[in-house]
Structure 1
Amino acid sequence: MKKKLCLFLVLFINIGLFSQSKDTIYYNSEWKITNSSKYNYYLIKENDKKNGAFTAYYKSGEIRCNFYCNEINYEDIINSKFESKFTAYSKDGNIIIEGNYENGLKTGKWIYFSDSGIKDTEEVYEKGILNGPYISYYENNKIHQKGNMLNGKKNGEWITKYYDGGLKSIYNYKDSLATPFCHLCNEYKKCKAVINNLFSKNSIQTSWICNDTLAYKQIDEGLLVTFNKETNSNFYIDIEVPWKEYDDISFEVTFKNTENSALEYGLVWNETLIETTYNQFMVTNNSEFVIYNLEDNVYMGNKFDKTESLLLGPGAENILKVSTKGNQVYYSINGDVVDTQKITNFEGSLFKIMVYNNQNLDNESIILKNFIFKDTEEYSSVENGLEPGKFEWTGSGSGFYVSNDGYIVTNYHVVENAYEVWVKCKQDGIYQKFKAEIIQKDVSNDLALIKITDAAFKSLKEIPYSILSGTAPLGSEVFSLGYPLADVIGENVKFSSGNISSLSGMYNDVTNFQMTVPVQSGNSGGPLFDKNGNVTGVVVAQLNKELYESENVNYAIKSNIVKNIVDMVPNPSFNKKKTKMKKLTQEEKISLLSDYVVMIQTF
């Protein structure tokens, strides 16, 4: 009797389970029907129910979402005719989506949250299409981005902010295409008004005119300018910039080679037609650059030189850039400064892109991809007067870690007059900025020890280099990593190499040595490495080439002097196995060491 009863119960349970399985619909993460072994969510089907309230569950049994349907489609649930309120939950029970449907289409405000319940995004729908305000948030509840959608596309002004609430950018859109004019601000409230004009045929253009409309055609990549024996020997574009009084500016153009690009091309700036004044920066396919200067119709000379920065192969791109800081002008090719000069005033408001076919070659061509013009702005004029004045660092330099908890060596003159010090460095593979304090000064040797004090800073792994106690021999190969001219050629680490050319500095200073490694403003405080990747000095100065009529005479503080200030660090964490770096190639050393070289910005 007991055996029959047990058999009956087992049969009853199996029938029940089988029945439940038939009424359970399984879905994958994209809400496509799947089988019972490969599912993320499930929904229990009740007697062929077609409308009303429904609940879907996670595989582990928690509620995934509650919703209403006028007509549910179990096989294609995404296309069911949803109605009224829709709510989705995380496994912890936090609301992650809430909004409303009308006739199967999203309507009104929809709010999205992270799994922990922090608001992420707000959107507004009209008949299933994004129409209205859009706002996204950081996890600290500050706004990340806000703007307006029209018929599912970005339109009008869109503002992006930093994690701390500071303004990052303002763009204007038309049907999700960005217009060329925008405002950009960095974390330190240094702002630029920017024209970024893409010449591609599908982009929105700013105002420009050219001398020959038959010499180019618009393609996906930009303007394809082509010369032949019947057309003009030159092509130029006049750019209309909507400002007349400039502070610090930059003007850059990206050129792309074709199979036949034996042309001379470049930029013209500071031009005024009334007084016949201009400055011209041109390059040739012979790896040469030329700088012409004309002022009040008087020829002021030129600079002609070879360069290794120019890329000549078919398909290669070259970015030519002119930047000003005060009365100093920087000319760069692909991020490398090839020349500098001083100009007493900027008279012209005209800018040109020039292409010459001086050799009268047939079927020569080049692609103009874009031009970017930037002019310094007041932060107050960008963000409605929240703070007055211009916000930019007063100085910058380089430094390097001497402990894994944030101690850094740099030059004293980098932080000498600072009331605030910030360090920009890599953490988790991305650049971040942290507040720092001056810990120790060695004025006589021009050294300083600073420490990152920001609680968000994460300790580093063991530092891969050592600081040498001896002096590198005369003629030995050395290289530097640092952040020269960061506000001109970018805030990313730069590599330079050379040799030790003297074991003493200026006036036979035995604490320094002379080297041929190029040095620019911003290199100060950066490490000088030997060929094995260990610190043999700290970059400190460049001999004034105008005053002493010198070329490439630069100095570094010897590593045995640097060790004196490093010895004050409580827990130095250098690599004690000096053979580790020897096994790496030069490229591998640079890649590894770059993460331990920082940019220092002072206010």
Structure 2
Amino acid sequence: MKFKIPLVLCIILLLTVTAAFSQGTKSYFDRAGVSTNENQAYYYREKQENDHYKSYYANGGSIYFEGRITYASASKEENNKYMEKCTWYHKNGKTKSIRTFNSDGAEEGSSIHYYESGKLWKEIEFVNGKIKNNTYKEHTEDGQVSQIFEEKFENNHNDWDLYNSDKSYAKIQEGILELGSYTKVGTSRFINLPMISGEYTIEANIHLEKLKDGEKAGLLFGFKDWQNYCYYLISPNSFYIGFVYEGVSSVKASGMYSDAVRKKEWNNIKIISVGEKLVYSINGEIQYKTDRFRNFGSSVGFSLSGKSSIKVNNLICKEIGYRGASVVTHESDLNVKSNGSGLVVSPGGYVLTNYHVIENANKILVEMNRDGLISSFNGVVVQKDKDNDLAIIKIMDERFQPFDQLKYSFKQGSGVDVGASVFTIGFPHALQGMGKEAKFTDGRISSKTGYNNAINSYQTSVPTQPGNSGGPLFNESGQLVGVINAGVKNTDNVSYAIKLNYVKNLMDLLSDVPSFPDYPIMTELSMEEKVRILSSYVVLIKIK
């Protein structure tokens, strides 16, 4: 007798086999996410269940991606339709990026990207696939934050003046801003883009093919009005730099020859404000440097002269050392008046610093990094010595957990001889762009007396900057020998440190006098290991 399998059961079996086969299938891709063969693959993708996928690095097999893909392209990963939370990984296993997608496959909400070290790189907010306000934040690995505004001219959310009159016109089309003038007067367009930091970059791509001979076009920045603005303009073979202040023109370069300009191609023009200098480049080649001059207003835009037209794309303004609130910035960083450095000198939370660091404090926060966890605690001044510029803070916060032991020591006996190697660890400009990772600098004892022959101080060649004040001065064995308290402006490698004896005298005045740290000397350790250990006790002091 013949046994007949019902049609419905056949279909179920077929679907089951197909799904099982599909689930185990590997798709191979190169580094750019383009389909390739197994031998040349950078990673491969495997389907799991319910539209969930995992990808793995071809060499080593560590995870590359995990998340939901409702449409998985067989040819290019950029054509995938992602959904919900998706995570990408570096080859070392650390998270590379975490991104969220809506039901239409458009990126939505916070997108966080990380360096291979695991430190934060970029924070981007998306609204239906578009970067919110065309602005995102970028971090360096040492903690410096830049705010980046990127105008790709995909729409007019930034309110450029787009109109056509008998004198000029402006329009946005296919990622390009086109600006034209019907008169000899020329024309310009601006948007308001406030930048707080004095260090920044501004760049854009400009096409000059329709720019007539004798005319020029380029960037206007720091624009307040036509009596106060800065400019950087180019022509097919020259450039122009300067500013106008209260109607008075200051010309830095006028028609200076340049062979970097491309008449029939896109030209990248860029302004870099760093330190006390302004640097101007065309297509990656530096054209001119000048002392930095102030920005008079907060508008940025484009201008051209005469009866001509230009095309512009990809305007990028990067504010370096941005201090606005970020997704991961702690609220304790807000409204900080100044900052200094300090050293934990007792397991229970006494912190040594300078008097001038805490002199005008309404509130004191002590921020420390313990085993990679950064915490900020309330502190109060419990002892001070104005004459010797010393102060002791006590951490008064129930969240603070005392140290088991301080693994360093105070130097015993006499002071430090001239020529001895010394170093400091501190937080220079921690909230003004240099980041909140402790910085190491070293030098030697230059003199046993300080400024104006002060006997309470050493003069050293250790480089210091604002924010180093209150930081420890260690000898090459990792023993505390003093406290950094001053430098000399516009003088290289001259700093001063209060001698350790004055620190001990102040600590003796505490109501519960702690024992001085006396951990065995670190002579056998490398300098790198000494710095790693000592950094655990060096703190950032924030004054509100």
Q: TM-score, normalised by structure 2?
A: 0.51
Structure 2: runs of 5 or more not aligned: 1-8, 10-14, 24-48, 52-66, 72-80, 87-97, 113-121, 153-157, 160-188, 204-218, 233-240, 254-270, 280-289, 303-313
Matches within 5 A, 1:142-291: 149-151=102-104, 154-155=107-108, 157-158=109-110, 171-173=125-127, 175=129, 181-182=135-136, 194-195=147-148, 242-251=191-200
Mark the CA change 1:542 to 1:448 in structure 2 (over 3 Å): closer, same or farther.
Answer: same
Matches within 5 A, 1:338-349: 346=296
Mark the CA change 1:159 to 1:576 in structure 2 (over 3 Å): closer, same or farther.
Answer: closer
- Correspondent of 1:439 among 366, 382, 392: 382
The residue matched to 1:528 in structure 2 has which SS? strand
Q: Deviations over 1:198-256 (max 9, x none)?
A: 99xxxxxx99xxxxxxxxxxxxxxxxxxxxxxxxxxxxxxxx995344333542699xx
Deviation for aligned residue 1:374: 5.4
Mark the CA change 1:501 to 1:394 in structure 2 (over 3 Å): closer, same or farther.
Answer: same
1:406 matched residue in structure 2 = 349
Q: Deviations over 1:342-394 (max 9, x none)?
A: 85654585599xxxxxxxxxxxxxxx9x9743586877xx99xxx9xx94200
Mark the CA change 1:176 to 1:406 in structure 2 (over 3 Å): closer, same or farther.
Answer: farther
Structure-1 separation of matches of 2:321 and 2:420: 43
The residue matched to 2:336 in structure 1 has which SS? coil
The residue matched to 2:102 in structure 1 has which SS? strand
Structure-1 separation of matches of 2:190 and 2:126: 17
Mark the CA change 1:506 to 1:482 in structure 2 (over 3 Å): closer, same or farther.
Answer: same
Bigger RCO (CA 8 Å, 6+ sep): 2
Structure-1 separation of matches of 2:343 and 2:291: 30
Q: Deviations over 1:165-224 (max 9, x none)?
A: xxx977125559888513799xxxxx999226699xxxxxx99xxxxxxxxxxxxxxxxx
1:396 matched residue in structure 2 = 339
Mark the CA change 1:544 to 1:376 in structure 2 (over 3 Å): closer, same or farther.
Answer: closer
1:558 matched residue in structure 2 = 499
Structure-2 separation of matches of 1:520 and 1:592: 23
Structure-2 separation of matches of 1:428 and 1:373: 31
1:539 equivalent to 2:488? Answer: no
Deviation for aligned residue 1:467: 1.9
Structure-2 separation of matches of 1:377 and 1:561: 36
1:586 equivalent to 2:527? Answer: yes
Deviation for aligned residue 1:527: 0.6
Structure-2 separation of matches of 1:454 and 1:150: 45
The residue matched to 1:154 in structure 2 has which SS? coil
Deviation for aligned residue 1:508: 1.5
Q: Deviations over 1:277-325 (max 9, x none)?
A: 7699xxxxxxxxxxx9977764789xxxxxxxxxxxxxxxxxx98468x
Structure-2 separation of matches of 1:460 and 1:351: 55
Structure-2 separation of matches of 1:516 and 1:293: 39
Deviation for aligned residue 1:541: 0.9
Contact 1:465–1:533 at 8 Å: present in 2 too? yes
Structure-1 separation of matches of 2:321 and 2:400: 33
Mark the CA change 1:474 to 1:293 in structure 2 (over 3 Å): closer, same or farther.
Answer: farther
2:449 matched residue in structure 1 = 504
Contact 1:247–1:375 at 8 Å: present in 2 too? no
Letter paired with 2:507: V
Deviation for aligned residue 1:451: 2.0
The residue matched to 1:582 in structure 2 has which SS? coil
Mark the CA change 1:446 to 1:194 in structure 2 (over 3 Å): closer, same or farther.
Answer: same
Structure-1 separation of matches of 2:277 and 2:344: 30
Structure-1 separation of matches of 2:250 and 2:533: 51
Matches within 5 A, 1:261-340: 298=250, 322=273
Greater Rg, structure 1 or structure 2?
1
More deviation in 520-529 or 455-464?
455-464
Contact 1:527–1:538 at 8 Å: present in 2 too? yes
- Correspondent of 1:373 among 294, 298, 319: 319
Aligned length: 353
Mark the CA change 1:406 to 1:196 in structure 2 (over 3 Å): closer, same or farther.
Answer: farther
Mark the CA change 1:405 to 1:197 in structure 2 (over 3 Å): closer, same or farther.
Answer: farther
Mark the CA change 1:541 to 1:511 in structure 2 (over 3 Å): closer, same or farther.
Answer: same
- Correspondent of 1:473 among 390, 412, 417: 417
Structure-1 separation of matches of 2:506 and 2:529: 29
Mark the CA change 1:299 to 1:553 in structure 2 (over 3 Å): closer, same or farther.
Answer: farther
Structure-2 separation of matches of 1:351 and 1:584: 56
Contact 1:131–1:150 at 8 Å: present in 2 too? yes
Matches within 5 A, 1:130-149: 149=102
Deviation for aligned residue 1:524: 0.3
Structure-1 separation of matches of 2:499 and 2:291: 31
The residue matched to 2:346 in structure 1 has which SS? coil
Deviation for aligned residue 1:602: 0.8
Matches within 5 A, 1:7-86: none
Contact 1:194–1:372 at 8 Å: present in 2 too? yes
> Percent identity of the aligned residues?
28
The residue matched to 1:248 in structure 2 has which SS? coil
The residue matched to 1:150 in structure 2 has which SS? coil
